[in-house]
Amino acid sequence: MTHATDRCRVFRQLHQSGCFVIPNPWDLGSARLLTQLGFPALATTSSGFAWSLGRHDNGVSLQEALGHFQSIAHGVEVPVNADFEGGFATAPAAVAANVAAATATGIAGLSIEDSTGDAADPLFELTLAVERIQAARRAIDDSGTDILLTGRSEGFIVGRPDLSETIRRLTAYAEAGAECVYAPGLRTKADIAAVVKAVAPKPVNVLVGSDFTTVAELAGLGVRRISVGGALARAAWTGFLQAAKEIAGQGTFTNLARAVPFSEVNGSFASE
């Protein structure tokens, strides 16, 4: 499955029923290994990609992000959803222009966030946030692609954990053209179930960055899609830092003995 249209079709089908995990690679190698494990779709992670460049989250440019999307989307056979942060712009017209550029990278989906990056005023005013989703929707429609649009509300991870406001925003984004909705930071069954019920039949994505739930549990709540954000990248950094700190601090190498064998890693890329 290499044609972008086919991947968009498959990606949409995944959102129609059941529950699937869409893990988040941070480079082409991690993306290819995840596809070998059988995951039906992938999603990029802004934090994981930024860390791979020695930057903080949201510290990459639009052009760097577009190049990353293209590398992943053209390097694997499964659909890829792009973490498009806040659209790399504030004004709806600029968001639309940037989304139009993203539609040419081979992705099957992308998300738009409503966070401002300002700790004192962390969420865009609702009218502007809705206009930004509408602009992204028009850009996708004008592109002639069938890319799936996800609307994200960031309140629970930017210091505004208000369930009613989150539901109000997600509902508005769905009405504005988002085909999937996503509120990272939701952790309780009650909150997740409330969002699923409020936006039904729109599919809901839930972020899992620790062991607070299971796939079966979220599926039972009606969640359609599960992502892990930068958690897989953090897990990789954990192993790296544990081994490096041991070498630097103790002069021993026991953590290296726990590493996946060279032959297993190298063999995973033999056919690429």
pLDDT tens, the chain, 272 aa long: 458 899 999 999 999 999 999 999 999 999 999 999 999 999 999 999 999 999 999 999 999 999 999 999 999 999 999 999 999 999 999 999 999 999 999 999 999 999 999 999 999 999 999 999 999 999 999 999 999 999 999 999 999 999 999 999 999 999 999 999 999 999 999 999 999 999 999 999 999 999 999 999 999 999 999 999 999 999 999 999 999 999 999 999 999 999 999 999 999 998 76
Which residues, including other chains, have CB under 8 Å from residue 74's CB and lie 6 or more apart? 106
Domains located in the chain, CATH noted: 4-230 (3.20.20.60)
Phi, psi of 148 (to 5 degrees): -85, 130
pLDDT computed for residue 1 by the predictor = 45
Instruction: Report the b/e string of 17-48 with b at 16+ CB within 10 A.
Output: eebbbbbbbbbbebbbebbeeebebbbbbbbb
- String of DSSP letters for 240-268: HHHHHHHHHHHS--GGGGGSPPHHHHHHH
Q: And the tokens for 166?
A: 């989150």
- Bond before 40 cis per omega within 30 degrees: no
Q: Which amino acid is at 69?
A: F
Phi, psi of 253 (to 5 degrees): -135, 25
Alpha carbons 54 and 172: distance in angstroms, whole number? 36
Full-model pTM: 0.96
pLDDT computed for residue 9 by the predictor = 97
pLDDT computed for residue 2 by the predictor = 54
Alpha carbons 33 and 11: distance in angstroms, whole number? 19
